Amino acid sequence: MELNVFILFMAAIFTSNILLTNFLGMCSYLSVSRQIESSLGLGFAVFFVMTCTTALNYFVYYFVLVPLDIVYLQYIIFIIVIAAFVQLTEMVIERLSPVLYYSLGIFLPLITVNCAILGVSLFMVIRNYSFIQSVAFGAGSGIGWLLAILALAGIRQKVNDTFVPAGLRGAGLSLIITGIMALGFIGFSGIAVIQ
């Protein structure tokens, strides 16, 4: 599959946003989108981990799993790689910057079980991306996820100041907002679609 890296990167952010078209990574998306500040923290953490683990998993897949002929184990192995990477990142951040650790650190364990991260690694395999493409796709998806959660957090903060009928409060309204946002993002799909 020969896709221009830049197009792939932009497509991962807008037209094929991992959250708004594949609906991956919903649990942390719904639970940490109350405030712009914390959603920004989580978004950056997801972006960082997603980019790095996609690159790592690329090597693990093509240099370990394929030669050993155990690609059917990719789910387990990818999760192990992601969990180990998150742990390692947590330690490095704690050592280097306590402030960043306390604002980001509480979100890092959440990321281990964020299905969007695993999803990006699996898409990379299914769609036969090259290394450069994989990194662009990982980074783009991370930015796309950050964009989506930031938008929801902003809208939810506005909604807080208005009257919401009892039946819609909480997750109900968040899901409707997400649906409308997803519709909005479909507007981009005339540009390029990667799936």
Q: Which residues bind other proteins (CB under 8 A)?
A: 64, 68, 70, 73, 76-77, 80-81, 83-84, 87-88, 91-92, 94-95, 98-99, 102-103
Residue 70 Cβ, how far from other proteins at the closest point, in Å? Answer: 6
For other proteins, which is the closer residue by CB, 70 or 132?
A: 70
CB of 173 to other proteins, least distance (A): 28
Amino acid, single-letter form, for residue 130: S
Task: Tally Cβ neighbours within 10 Å of residue 26.
Answer: 17
Which CB sits closer to other proteins, 37 or 161?
37
Of 5 and 94, which has the nearer Cβ to other proteins? 94
Rounded least distance, CB 80 to other proteins, Å: 6
Q: State in angstroms the smallest separation of the CB of 93 from other proteins.
A: 10
CB 85 within 8 A of CB 49: yes
Q: Which amino acid is at 173?
A: L
| Residue among 86 and 151 whose Cβ is closer to other proteins | 86
Report whether 58 contacts 131 (CB < 8 A): yes
The closest alpha carbon to 117, from 1, 7, 22, 3, belongs to: 22
Nearer to other proteins, 88 or 193 (CB): 88
Residue 87 main-chain phi, psi, to 5 deg: -60, -45
CB proximity list for 77: less than 8 A, separation 6 or greater:
60, 64, 65
User: Minimal distance in Å, beta carbon 99 to other proteins?
Assistant: 5
